[in-house]
């Protein structure tokens, strides 16, 4: 069986760790072998202090390799920050955005290979050679289409109609301002020229199951979907396409996805996110939608939108709960497949 996952960073990493474990357990119990490809959001990527950062890719890489900082949720375990302190002295980079020493090793290696002419996909392959991840990580696109956030800038204090608009890199809005400045739109300049990275559309079209991780529906999954060719691959694949809700009981599981959803006029609600993705029957991307038990009753109404809903515990506390969640998503994909969708 071939499974392809669309994922952002931290939530995506937890989900994929659980999926890898569930696939291993099922195969040990006599089930079919499965391969897992992960299409990783590249909208959070940026150039900083002369190096190329790919935060979501690295979150998945570190978590699957078991070298991630589980407390902080990003970066390497056992990290030190000597270089970051020097960069602050030099006034290079952002003082509110920390590049750890071990993490910087990754960014330097990546940048050096990019300078040699390798593509982000080829760089990703080299990074994955260091640790046997058991899954294949693929940047969604090799084109640099970093997300810019358009905000209403009321720094003049004038407010109202005189308040101007300005844009900033997603990482500034997310990390410096903790998404507290209301966003009005998210842009990826040049995305109309971008294409799925080599192997990405094939991984979607050739899959038996496509899963949407419980990642940010706007700036993670939404950015992947904005790459021309991506929605077509999802619409045309023979795979069952099942999404996992990143919203439980009207609240975001982690991060500040609610600020992103309200910017695009979608309620912070499991059903609303499913309807935002839409059914494949009506030109959207979903066959099935997995919600938390807390949202089971409301999700029944999704049937009228031609989306098959199922409920399971969605909180990923540890490897066992993450594996059980991934198992529930695979089971829903099997149900959807048996219905011939």
Per-residue interface string for the shown chain with ligand FO1, residues 100-139, x marking contact by CB under 6 A: ---x------------------------------------
Per-residue b or e along 117-136, where b marks 16 or more CB atoms closer than 10 Å to that residue's CB: ebebbbbbbebbeeeebebb
Query: Of the two residues 5 and 330, which places its CB atom closer to ligand FO1 in the complex?
Result: 5
> Are the C-beta atoms of 226 and 277 separated by less than 8 Å?
no
Q: Which residue has the tokens 């990143």?
A: 246
Q: What is the DSSP letter of 304?
A: G
Nearest approach in angstroms of CB 45 to ligand FO1 is: 9
Q: How many Cα neighbours within 13 Å face the side chain of 8?
A: 22
Q: Could you please report the per-residue DSSP string of 280-301?
A: GGGTSSBSEEEEEGGGHHHHGG
Tell me whether strands 46-48 and 51-53 are parallel, antiparallel or unpaired: antiparallel
Place of tokens 């750890």: 100
- The answer to whether the beta carbons of residues 286 and 279 sit under 8 Å apart is yes
- Residue 35 binds to ligand FO1 (criterion: CB under 6 A): no
Number of residues engaging ligand FO1 in binding (CB under 6 A): 17
The answer to whether 9 contacts ligand FO1 (rule: CB under 6 A) is: yes
The single residue among 173, 174, 277, 289 that binds ligand FO1, judged by CB under 6 A, is 174
Per rule CB under 6 A, is residue 328 in the interface with ligand FO1? no
The footprint of ligand FO1 on residues 153-172 (CB under 6 A) is: 171
Tell whether residue 8 is a contact of ligand FO1 (CB under 6 A).
yes
Binding track, positions 40-59, relative to ligand FO1; x by CB under 6 A: ----x--------x-xx-x-
What residues between 48 and 107 interact with ligand FO1 by CB under 6 A? Answer: 53, 55-56, 58, 74-75, 97-99, 103
Does position 175 interact with ligand FO1 (CB under 6 A)? The reply is yes
> How far is Cα 60 from Cα 70, in angstroms, rounded to an integer?
12
Task: List residues binding ligand FO1 (CB under 6 A).
Answer: 8-10, 44, 53, 55-56, 58, 74-75, 97-99, 103, 171, 174-175
């Amino acid at each position: 069986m071939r499974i392809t996952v669309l994922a952002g960073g931290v939530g995506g990493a937890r989900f994929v760790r659980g999926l890898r474990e569930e696939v291993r357990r099922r195969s040990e119990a006599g089930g079919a072998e499965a391969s897992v490809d992960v299409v990783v959001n590249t909208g959070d990527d940026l150039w900083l202090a002369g190096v190329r950062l790919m935060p979501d890719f690295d979150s998945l890489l570190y978590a699957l390799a078991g070298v991630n900082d589980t407390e902080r949720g990003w970066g390497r375990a056992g990290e030190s920050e000597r270089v970051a302190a020097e960069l602050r002295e030099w006034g290079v980079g952002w003082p509110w955005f920390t590049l750890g020493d071990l993490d910087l090793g990754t960014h330097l290696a990546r940048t050096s290979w990019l300078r040699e002419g390798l593509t982000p996909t080829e760089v990703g392959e080299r990074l994955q050679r260091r640790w046997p991840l058991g899954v294949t990580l693929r940047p969604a696109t090799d084109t640099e289409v970093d997300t810019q956030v358009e905000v209403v800038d009321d720094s003049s204090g004038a407010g109202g109609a005189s308040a101007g608009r300005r844009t900033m890199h997603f990482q500034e809005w997310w990390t410096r301002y903790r998404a507290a400045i209301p966003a009005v739109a998210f842009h990826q300049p040049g995305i109309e020229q971008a294409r799925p990275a080599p192997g990405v559309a094939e991984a979607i079209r050739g899959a038996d199951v496509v899963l949407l991780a419980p990642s940010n529906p706007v700036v993670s999954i939404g950015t992947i979907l904005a790459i021309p060719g991506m929605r077509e691959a999802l619409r045309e694949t023979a795979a069952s396409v099942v999404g996992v809700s990143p919203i439980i009981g009207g609240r975001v599981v982690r991060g500040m996805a609610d600020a992103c959803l309200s910017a695009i006029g979608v309620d912070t609600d499991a059903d609303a996110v499913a309807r935002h993705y839409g059914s494949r029957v009506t030109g959207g991307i979903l066959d099935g939608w997995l919600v938390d038990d807390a949202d089971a009753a409301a999700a029944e109404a999704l049937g009228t939108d031609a989306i098959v809903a199922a409920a399971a515990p969605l909180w990923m506390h540890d490897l066992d709960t993450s594996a059980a969640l991934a198992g529930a998503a695979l089971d829903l994909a099997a149900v959807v497949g048996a219905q011939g969708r």
